[in-house]
Structure 1
Amino acid sequence: MKLSQRMNELIRACFAGIWIESHEHLDALAELSAMCQEEDWRLAVWDIDQGLRQPSGTAIDVEVADPLAAVRAVSAMASADTPSLLVLPNFHRFIGSAEIVQAISRAVNEGKQHRTFVVILSPLVQLPVELEKLFIVVEHPLPDRDQLTQIATGIATEAGEMPVDRELEDVLDAAAGLSRYEAEGAFSLALVRDGRITPDSIWELKTQAVKKSGLLSLHRGGQNFDSLGGLGALKSFTRRALIHRGRSTTQPRPRGVMLLSPPGCGKSEFCKCVGNEVGRPVLTLDVGSLMGSLVGQSEERTRQALSIVDAMAPCVLMIDEVEKAFAGASGGGNDSGVSSRMFGTFLSWLNDHESDVFVVCTANDVAKLPPEFARAERFDGVFFVDLPGRTQKDEIWQLYVQRFGLDSSEPKPADDQWTGAEIKSCCRLAALLDVSLVRAAENVVPVAVTSAESVNHLRQWADGRCLSAETSGVYHALAKPKRRRAVSTKPSVN
């Protein structure tokens, strides 16, 4: 629903205190001004820079020098027949004063009788306890695809500048989540650089916009599934879930996958490759960056990060080593329950979000994960990524030997219990030190040796509980043959 439609309903219902959460004050004021002109309502705006004025910029002949006087001015706007709106942009900066809080409380309570409305425009919601029950919060939505198309059409006025069909869809995917001001700048930059609106320049500005939040990072590498050896069943599952769906709104939306494995088996590389494979940006959520020093700040940052993710849809959200990210969620930490509340917020979003976000979580230790995390309908599948088999290892050797410019005919070292990361390390060291692969392997100690107990425990847990990342169906661990006791050939001595 548009902001003007929502505001029209609230004003007719006589909600005298309205808080609009918006980063685009000029656009919000333009919508409110058009609404008031259409309904023949009175509208005034006050800010600390220009004082009291009409939306057109014309000053009102009333002396309003400070925020307290601005709040009191709303009573002078009262009319018996016409609703009157006083809009206060960025007024959250002044609500630390007891006098202003009291004046706003009085103005809102009297507004129901006099049909005067106090409207605060702010990029965040900071209501003191005294005003919580008096205000209703309205969100000014970011532009949808139709509005982004209108913005692009208004900028690309010459022939050939406006993309069409599939290229237009790619441009709108790139611009999703940008504000109107950011979208105008991105489209204009693309015109200056390329002579027409293309996604590349938009992605560059979008990466900066995500980085400014400090909560997420945007990955757009050039690698796809061809650069990742093995994981055949996982690749096929993901590709079918995302690519075959296309843009159909009738099919159910994919939710994501949970990847469990020992370190170095390709979980993080898969997350980076999946976005380019299916044509979606990959957002990485660092839960540590959500932590704040103030009470409630961590929970607020979590909600803010998830709202950015929703706005960036369609996209892929990656949370690496999720068991460490929410280590205190089970109540064993000493963070006063912050991790538990953040984890609860994330679980609720994971279960209820309607945006087209494909979530990929990775974990190395299932014992630290709450059981409710991986239940049905939070993920489409929980996959176990085991150490690669012989066929997968050969693919990985071929991949990295070619990438690091090594001789493919060179003999390979014994790679029993090696992961893909260890094969990559061996190839990189061979190229770095200019030695053979066999010599380079002397510097590699596989994780299956250094952490044999934890790897075996993880395999035993995943047996019959997870899907296999290599072959279709449920994962089953191969039973290790029992070691036979050595039989002595020496004669016994009585």
Structure 2
Amino acid sequence: MRFEQQLKLLISSRHLFIYILTNEEERLEHVISRLVCQEFDSNIYSWDFIDGYTNNPNYLGYAQRNPLAALEFIETLDFSSTKVFILKDFHLFMNDISIIRKIKNLSTKLKNINFNIIIVSSEINIPILLKDRISLIEFPKPNIGEINSELKRLFSVLNIKYKLDLDNLAFACRGMSMDFIRKLIAKLVFTQQSPSYIFHLITEEKKQFIKQTDILHFCSVSNTLQDIGGLFCLKQWLQKRSNAFSKQAQSYGLPIPKGLLLVGIQGTGKSLSAKVIAQHWKLPLLRLDVGKIFGGVVGESEKNIRKVIKLSEDLSPCVLWIDEIDKAFNRFTNNSDSGTSNRVLSTLLTWLSEKTKQVFVVATANDVLSLPSEMLRKGRFDEIFFLNLPNLQEREMIFQIHLMKVRPLTWKQYNINHLSKLTNSFSGSEIQQSIIEAMNNAFYEKRDFNNNDIINAISDIIPLAFTDHAKIESMQEWAKLGKVRLAS
């Protein structure tokens, strides 16, 4: 149900206290005014802590810095006509016992009166004693249609002559407030840059917006499928779904892809794969710092995971990368935190199963055996891929990729086949490290590095697979049983 339909239903059914969650006060007031004028012919009274009541000349400045007086004022008015009251930031005062008591009294006194008291807040803060008296709804960010209309209006008013595809521009602005969009267009006009510059501005503004959360990080990616050595099955799976988020896919009836769980020991390419997915599908990549979800204050962890979900949905379509998820949700160590991990996990799993927004989740885990069994259930992710150690052919590809980056003209001089045979049980990152070590040694001696330098570096590296051999064998057994799918 659309927001305006929800609000109309609540007002019509005489819900006295309506709590609206939003950061866009100005846009919300405009929507409320339009709805009230068209459907209810009501008077609107607006209050904030500093200025008191502002939009009625008879009560200008009344109840300044006095939230209790703002409520008392409501019951002094004529009950015969319909009225709507907008109280801004009122959630900051709702834990006061006098405010709680007054809201309860008003709920009884005005239950048959055509009054509606709308509390506008940027966060949920409803005392337990009032939960059954207040209806909570969320004011969504502007949709594509609203953004497109506003862009057309701004381009017309500002007489902007740039030839831009407004549909693509509106799509890029999705998840941002209308105020952000207006400032963005103002920057474009002021800087007088090329039309393509606006997309760079959008990316930079989103980076700053996400950075403020201190939980999500906006990742810039440049890696392509060609940067992955091997993992043919995973790459084929990704290529088949390259257009899964397109309008054509939706018209075809394809369900929105949920996500992938990538498992394997460190250095096998899980993080690189997450970056490549975002780049190949041309979607923004958001990285979740799982450790920062968990806070010391009671209820903070649950609030943080809800914030992550909301942000990622606001910025959809996007890729949400949850790195090393096994460290946050470990079935062997989650029994000593008073159930916080289980509650956060429950919220995450429910969202993974039921989400309808275009958020593709890529979770990576080094030790899948420690993950809770409910996370591995079919339906949470589209597929679970096991990234095994590279075979000989894949090791040759990995050597070639890294040598071409550092020696694009002379990489064929290196005996890649011989080097690949020497690196059995090496991960991709360990192969890369052997090249870096060889380069450092040769650079110290003021010469170019050669095959022998890489061979010497290989002999000094003890592969991580030697210590994680049991995990690899277990995952190989899982692959045989069909519990996970081999990425190679």
TM value normalised by structure 1:
0.88
Equivalent in the alignment of 1:138: 137
Deviation at 1:330, TM superposition (A): 6.2
Equivalent in the alignment of 2:74: 74
In the alignment, structure 1 residue 368 sits paired with structure 2 residue 370: yes
| Partner SS state of residue 203, structure 1 | helix
Equivalent of residue 410 in structure 1, options 410, 414, 431: 414
Give the aligned residue type for 1:452: H
CA contact (8 A) 1:78 1:114 kept: no
Q: What are the ranges of 5 or more consecutive residues in structure 1 without an aligned counterpart?
A: 471-494
Q: Distance in 2 between matches of 1:23 and 1:43?
A: 20
The within-5 A match list for 1:19-418 is: 19-38=19-38, 39-54=40-55, 58=57, 60-61=59-60, 63-65=62-64, 66-80=66-80, 82-157=81-156, 158=159, 160-161=161-162, 163-164=164-165, 168-193=166-191, 194-196=193-195, 198-243=198-243, 246-247=246-247, 248-249=249-250, 250-327=253-330, 329=331, 332-405=334-407, 407-408=410-411, 409-412=413-416, 413=419, 414-418=422-426
Deviation at 1:246, TM superposition (A): 2.4
Deviations 1:401-432 (A, max 9, x none): 12123742133542111111011111222223
CA contact (8 A) 1:153 1:162 kept: no
Q: Distance in 2 between matches of 1:368 and 1:182?
A: 43
Equivalent in the alignment of 1:479: none
Give the number of equivalent residue pairs.
Answer: 463
Equivalent in the alignment of 2:433: 425
Deviations 1:228-265 (A, max 9, x none): 21111101101212325522322211111211212111
Q: Distance in 2 between matches of 1:326 and 1:382?
A: 17
CA contact (8 A) 2:264 2:368 kept: no
Give the aligned residue type for 1:368: S
Deviations 1:35-58 (A, max 9, x none): 23333201101111111121xx75
Equivalent in the alignment of 2:455: 438
Give the aligned residue type for 1:458: M
Give the aligned residue type for 1:367: L
CA contact (8 A) 1:16 1:117 kept: yes
Equivalent in the alignment of 2:476: 459
| Partner SS state of residue 416, structure 1 | coil
Give the aligned residue type for 1:233: C
Give the aligned residue type for 1:460: E
Q: Distance in 2 between matches of 1:113 and 1:461?
A: 63
Residues 171, 227 of structure 1: alpha-carbon distance in 2 compared, 3 angstrom cutoff: farther
After TM superposition, the structure 1 stretch with the greater mean CA deviation from structure 2, 461-470 or 229-238, is 461-470
Q: Distance in 2 between matches of 1:148 and 1:468?
A: 43
Residues 279, 210 of structure 1: alpha-carbon distance in 2 compared, 3 angstrom cutoff: same
| Partner SS state of residue 88, structure 1 | strand
Residues 89, 330 of structure 1: alpha-carbon distance in 2 compared, 3 angstrom cutoff: farther
Give the aligned residue type for 1:349: W
After TM superposition, the structure 1 stretch with the greater mean CA deviation from structure 2, 313-322 or 439-448, is 439-448
Q: What are the ranges of 5 or more consecutive residues in structure 2 without an aligned counterpart?
A: 443-448
Residues 380, 186 of structure 1: alpha-carbon distance in 2 compared, 3 angstrom cutoff: same
Give the aligned residue type for 1:200: H
Give the aligned residue type for 1:384: F
| Partner SS state of residue 143, structure 1 | coil
Give the aligned residue type for 1:429: E
CA contact (8 A) 2:329 2:372 kept: no
Q: Distance in 2 between matches of 1:173 and 1:393?
A: 40
CA contact (8 A) 1:404 1:427 kept: no
CA contact (8 A) 2:52 2:61 kept: no
Deviation at 1:9, TM superposition (A): 1.8
After TM superposition, the structure 1 stretch with the greater mean CA deviation from structure 2, 448-457 or 227-236, is 448-457
Give the aligned residue type for 2:178: R
Q: Distance in 1 between matches of 2:395 and 2:481?
A: 24
Give the aligned residue type for 1:92: H
Q: Distance in 1 between matches of 2:172 and 2:423?
A: 43
Deviation at 1:191, TM superposition (A): 4.2
Give the aligned residue type for 1:11: I
% identical aligned pairs: 25
Residues 374, 115 of structure 1: alpha-carbon distance in 2 compared, 3 angstrom cutoff: same
Q: Distance in 1 between matches of 2:245 and 2:139?
A: 30
Give the aligned residue type for 2:138: E
Q: Distance in 1 between matches of 2:265 and 2:221?
A: 24
Deviation at 1:25, TM superposition (A): 0.7
Q: Distance in 1 between matches of 2:103 and 2:290?
A: 37
Deviations 1:414-473 (A, max 9, x none): 211111101111122222332422233243221122433333333333333321212xxx
TM value normalised by structure 2:
0.89
Q: Distance in 1 between matches of 2:357 and 2:62?
A: 48
